[in-house]
Amino acid sequence: MFFKPGSIIGASFFAGGAGAYALYRQNKNREVQVQETNMILKREESTSPASSADSSKAAGSDTSVPPVTSTALVLYTGGSGGIVPEKNKSSGSPINVGLESLRYGFPGPINDSGVRQSYAYSYNRMMKNPNWIAEHLTRDTIKGPADRQKSKFREDSSIPHKNRTHLSDYFRSGFDRGHMAPAGNSKFSQQAMDETFILSNISPQVGEGFNRHYWAFFESFIRDLTNRYKHVYVITGPLYLPSHDPKTNKWTVTYQVIGNPPNIPVPTHFFKAVLATNNEPSPVSPTSSSNKEPYFMQAFVIPNSKVLNETPLQNFITPIDAVERATGLELFSSIDRKKDPVSELCSHTVCKVKIDPRYID
């Protein structure tokens, strides 16, 4: 199987919105000043009664994640930008028609983002797949006493029942529940490993020849990078890429949908973007380093289908900016690729998967 980078993922299409990612959920009132219209959005967050019921004691639900919050937008208008000649009857102040359209709520889209023990995540409610999962691997995080046999798949109760992925969606679907952040990356803590089984970290993957084989070997390759680099950062996510029909000469995005009712698209491909470095994080700023060792970056895009074990990993190398165009994401944005010392990972180390005989029948 051969993959030509750039020819497919350079196309423009949607892969699920990439919302701004907050490191921690804010559960208090906050105000944002919008200069153009002098509008203040006061985000009043309160626990939704429906979501509280969802996060209860249902089998397979995640009771360790805080309940989902609903956001009410209260609009205060002022200033002159965009104001139309219409007066508020009670106050006499001008009304911005555009702002008034949001009086009864902001429709979204809403991307559920958060941080768990071993990864950060962004979940797409429409696609019911992660937008992305981010990890930081070291020699210490991939070792430890955690036992995969003690972990169980569970629903993410922080996401409303109507928008979350359900355990029943995978029943007889023909697809594996594929980890974006692998369980094997979180051996340092049983809780960390357990959290990799939350369904907001899961996408439907082909089992035979992919999730149980080549993709698993690829994940091992990523872990092995910690033998050479002190810090390995990984961003993983699904893709929904177009394919070319030679008969019509048209490009179309086609994917299977699973679930009951069918509501979970099966990604056509998956990507991993990797940054490896021996730089130590700065104690002053999380976006800078205390020394100037080089950074080694590489992105890979692999089809969600059976891949022969002998397929060279180099076949799946893809330019990082092409992945960014395909997903709408900004990957390792604090690194200036023009000014900082950045090289391709596979020019510095051997990019090759090792076939694990334990997974071969």
263 is in an annotated binding site: no
Residue 291 and residue 288: Cα distance in Å, rounded? Answer: 9
Place of tokens 């950074």: 295
Read off the tokens for 352. 């090759």
Q: Which of 136, 161, 179, 269 is catalytic?
A: 179
Residue 236 and residue 242: Cα distance in Å, rounded? Answer: 19
- Cα angle value 207/153/149 (rounded, 5°): 85
What is the Cα 110 distance to its own chain's centre? Answer: 13
Residue 220 and residue 225: Cα distance in Å, rounded? Answer: 9
Q: Evaluate whether 332 touches 279 at the Cβ level (below 8 Å).
A: no
Task: Give the Cβ contact number of residue 164 at 10 Å.
Answer: 24
Read off the tokens for 224. 């092995």
Residue 75 and residue 32: Cα distance in Å, rounded? Answer: 11
Task: Check if 179 is active-site.
Answer: yes
Give the active site residues. Answer: 179
> Which residue numbers belong to the known binding site for Mg(2+)?
211
Question: Where is the binding site, in residues?
Answer: 211
